[in-house]
Structure 1
Amino acid sequence: MIPDRVMRKIERCLALSKSANSHEAGIALRQAQALMAQYGVRQEDLALSDFDEACVLSRSGITPPRYLEYLAQLINRSFGTVSLYSARRDWSSSGRLKASGCYKFVGPRDACRVAGYAYEVLQRQLLRDRRAFMNTLSTRLKRETKRRRGDAFAEAWVAGAQQIVTPVAMTPDRQALAERYLERRYGNLQVLEARGHQPLKRHDQRAVTAGYRAGSAARLSAGVDATHREALTQGSIQ
């Protein structure tokens, strides 16, 4: 494992190597090359040093519902990140075993932070709108029916929310680096099987229509799209 202080020093030297002062730039470049040779640092290591992850808490327990996975994938397409769901069980203060989880967004440091923020904002609106819709359902409905319609509403909500963010194509280089980061940090990851719902019935269509309409009205703060564009530009991989 290459010490963080070494990586930071190499990064500073490489930054100085772009100086307009050719003498200063030459010295900085030679120092960077010497450190890279001494510690076996490769270009991939330098690129990965800019990668980080942002964790957004979820109350979904061990297995998240499919609509939250859809939302995570929407964020990935919009901010050029990849994500994974991490869950664990802990003992609560009352002595009960409680499950908690979070979505982790991985990518260049600035991009993953903005992606995490965007997911948190949209998740809050999605869950709020889903609760409001559930409250409009007849109390005579079975619990199973309510849950199915609530999930259908939420999945359609994510589809409607696509129009408020601008997709960013992840380059093959960035995709490869993200996979390498995950491999180094977590080893072999299991494929997430999100919790789905039973097939929809004819009367469930109202939930789909309402969900799409509500998702279309979702909002991020005014500066998020501009901020993430700037972050992706600054953290772009050549």
Structure 2
Amino acid sequence: MSECATGDKNKRARALDRIKKCFALAKSSNPHEAEAAMRQARKLMDKFKLEIGDVHATQTEEFSLRIGKAKSVPPQWIRMLSMTVSKAFGCVSFYSYGPDGQSLIFIGEIGSAEMSAYAYEVLIRQLKDSKRKYLSGVSIQGTVQRRKAGVLYAEAWIIGVHKRVEEFSGVTEEVERAIHAYTQRNYPGVPVTKMKRRKLDMDAYRAYIQGKRDGESVSLHKPMGRDEHRQLELE
């Protein structure tokens, strides 16, 4: 890349950063400050030929994780796990494969994509370990049958994980806009369906989990009748 092109790219990046700050100021309760910020944002967008989608896209990041050397499509259960994890962290994910092997690509709010990839790596290790232990403890004849049992076990395991993350999965409308803008610019051929709105934030989710644990620890005893209470008093 030439020095001129690099300079233009840096100027564009700085302009996008200033536009984002202007949009933040445009939310001010002071109408004069908000109007001035929007005027400045429009001026910068016109000068650098930027669209609102360009601004949204800067709020999103991409993280690629290589998962295998095979040149074919990753197994279904691999794709299931990546979708489950990305959903939990408010991201979208898709896979790529070819001469360079297999990769998973996570796209989400700044910080979320990398967290999704890390969570995937943790869970895939746990899943493979659990599957190995299960298969070592059962008697299944034939390589094909054993492989099929392993796949079914993995898919069921992932469904169980999915239920655990369902309560706090989803995204805000702003994050969904940013993800759509990013994918349209960088992966125009990849469809992104409408994403689920997040019902609980992480603090609410932690409260839910603690309440569930505390509730499960409560033990109920059969209540005593009036005569039984009287008998205890006499004794």
Normalised-by-shorter TM-score class = 0.5 to 0.7
1:63 to 73, 79, 86: 73
1:82 to 60, 77, 92: 92
Q: 1:181 to 1:120 in 2, by over 3 A?
A: same
| Mapping of residues 205-220 of structure 1, within 5 Å | none
2:7 is aligned with 1:6: no
Q: 1:177 to 1:29 in 2, by over 3 A?
A: closer
Amino acid at match of 1:77: K
In the alignment, is the contact (CA less than 8 A) between 2:66 and 2:103 conserved in 1?
Answer: yes
Single out whichever of 174-183 and 107-116 deviates more from structure 2.
174-183
The TM-score normalised by the length of structure 1 is 0.63
The Cα of 1:164 is off from its aligned counterpart by 3.2
In the alignment, is the contact (CA less than 8 A) between 2:91 and 2:106 conserved in 1?
Answer: yes
In 2, Cα distance between equivalents of 1:68 and 1:167 = 22
String of CA shifts for 1:4-44, please: whole Å, max 9, x gaps: 22212322344456679999877655433321121232322
In the alignment, is the contact (CA less than 8 A) between 1:126 and 1:157 conserved in 2?
Answer: yes
Q: 1:22 to 1:179 in 2, by over 3 A?
A: closer
Amino acid at match of 1:101: Q
In the alignment, is the contact (CA less than 8 A) between 2:25 and 2:37 conserved in 1?
Answer: yes
The Cα of 1:190 is off from its aligned counterpart by 8.7
Q: 1:133 to 1:179 in 2, by over 3 A?
A: same
1:53 to 44, 48, 62: 62
In the alignment, is the contact (CA less than 8 A) between 1:137 and 1:146 conserved in 2?
Answer: no
Find the counterpart in structure 1 of residue 198 from structure 2.
none
Q: Which has the larger radius of gyration?
A: 2
Q: Give me the identity figure in percent.
A: 30
Find the counterpart in structure 2 of residue 128 from structure 1.
129
Amino acid at match of 1:69: R
Amino acid at match of 2:63: A
Root-mean-square deviation over aligned CA pairs: 3.4
Q: 1:15 to 1:167 in 2, by over 3 A?
A: closer
Amino acid at match of 2:89: F
SS in 2 for 1:115: helix
**Could you say which structure has the greater relative contact order, defined with CA pairs below 8 angstroms and 6 or more residues apart?**
1
In the alignment, is the contact (CA less than 8 A) between 1:84 and 1:105 conserved in 2?
Answer: yes
| Mapping of residues 113-152 of structure 1, within 5 Å | 113-138=114-139, 141-152=141-152
| Mapping of residues 1-238 of structure 1, within 5 Å | 3-15=12-24, 29-59=38-68, 61=70, 62-90=72-100, 100-138=101-139, 141-165=141-165, 166-170=167-171, 174-175=175-176, 177-189=178-190, 226=202
SS in 2 for 1:57: strand
SS in 1 for 2:99: strand
In the alignment, is the contact (CA less than 8 A) between 1:77 and 1:167 conserved in 2?
Answer: no
List gaps (5 residues or longer) in structure 1: 91-99, 192-224, 230-238
In 2, Cα distance between equivalents of 1:30 and 1:172 = 24
The Cα of 1:175 is off from its aligned counterpart by 4.5
Q: 1:185 to 1:153 in 2, by over 3 A?
A: same
In 1, Cα distance between equivalents of 2:146 and 2:69 = 18
In 2, Cα distance between equivalents of 1:172 and 1:31 = 24
Corresponding residue pairs, total: 185
List gaps (5 residues or longer) in structure 2: 1-7, 193-200, 206-235
The TM-score normalised by the length of structure 2 is 0.63
The Cα of 1:66 is off from its aligned counterpart by 1.1
Amino acid at match of 1:188: G
SS in 2 for 1:4: helix
Q: 1:10 to 1:176 in 2, by over 3 A?
A: closer
